[in-house]
Amino acid sequence: MIQVFGEFKKESVKSREFLMLGFSPGSAPLQQRWRNNGLSADFLADYLTTFFPTDDYEPGTREAKLKGAVSYIANELLENAMKFNYDTCDYQITLKFKLYSDHLVLRVTNHIQKKIMSRFQRFIHELLNSEPRELYIRQIKRSKEDESISGLGLLTMINDYDAKLGWQFETVEPNPEVIVVTTMAQLPI
C-alpha cells in the first residue's frame, strides 16, 4: 500500500545534476554516527555551490541563502531519518539531492515501524491542516526536550526556508510491518 501526503512528486529524470549519499544505520550506534548528519549536510551545501559559480558568498546573496538552506534542511532530514529509523533491518538510509533549472529537491528515504508511521502521519495531518507559524509557536510552548515527534524541524523548513514538503509511505514487509518513508523537500532557486 502506498500513501502520499503534501506536495510529493515522483522523481523526474530531467534534473541537471544529482548526488546520492547512503548510510548504513546498523554499522554503529546512533550517537557515534550523529555527527555525520551535519558533515553530510554541509558537504551537500558546498557541492551545490559548484553549480552557482560566484565569488560573492556574502550574506544576503541568493547563493549564500541557498547554501544555508540546504545545509539546514539536509541536516534536519537526516537527523529525523536516523532518529526514527527501524535499525534492526539492514536497509540503507539514502539522501538524494537533485538540481533542476528552477528548483532543487532533497529526498530522504528510511524504514520505520508501524507505530512510528501512525504518530508521524498524525503530525503530518496536523501540519497540513494548521497555519505553520501558529503551529510552530504552539509546539515550542508544549514540547519537552525528550519529546520525539515535535515536528519543529519540518515546521522550520516551511516557515524559515519556504520549503514545500511531501511524504510517501509504502509497506515493504508485512510481518512485522515495515514501511519505507520518503520525505521530500523542494526549494525554489
Partner 1 sequence: MEITTEQYSIKYDAETAAIHCQGILRLNGKEYEPIAHLLNQVAALEPPRITLNLRELKANNSSGITMLGKFVFVVAKKKTIQLLIQGTQKIAWQKKSVMNFQRLMPKLQLEWE
List binders of partner 1 among 52-111 (CB under 8 A): 59-60, 64-65, 67-69, 71-72, 75-76, 79, 83
Residue for cell digits 503551529? Answer: 135
Which residues pair with residue 135 across a beta bridge?
A: none
Within 8 A by CB and 6+ apart from 101, the residues are 16
The three grid cell numbers given for residue 68, joined into one nine-digit string:
544555508
CB of 147 to partner 1, least distance (A): 9
CA dihedral sign of residues 155, 158, 163, 166: positive
Q: Considering beta carbons, is residue 102 or 145 the nearer one to partner 1?
A: 145
* Out of 3, 15, 38, 177, the residue judged to bind partner 1 by CB under 8 A: 38
List binders of partner 1 among 157-176 (CB under 8 A): 159-161
CB of 95 to partner 1, least distance (A): 15
- What is the three-class DSSP state of 37? helix
Stretch that binds partner 1, among 36-44, 48-56, 120-128, 174-182 (CB under 8 A): 36-44
Calculated CA dihedral for residues 180, 189, 38, 85, nearest 10 degrees: -10
Look at residues 133, 122, 188 and name the one whose alpha carbon lies nearest to residue 159: 133
Q: Are 29 and 48 in contact (CB under 8 A)?
A: no
Does 146 participate in binding partner 1 (rule CB under 8 A)? yes
Does 34 participate in binding partner 1 (rule CB under 8 A)? yes
**Binding footprint of partner 1 on the chain (CB under 8 A):** 30-31, 34-35, 37-38, 42, 59-60, 64-65, 67-69, 71-72, 75-76, 79, 83, 133, 136-137, 139-141, 143, 145-146, 148, 150, 152-153, 155-156, 159-161
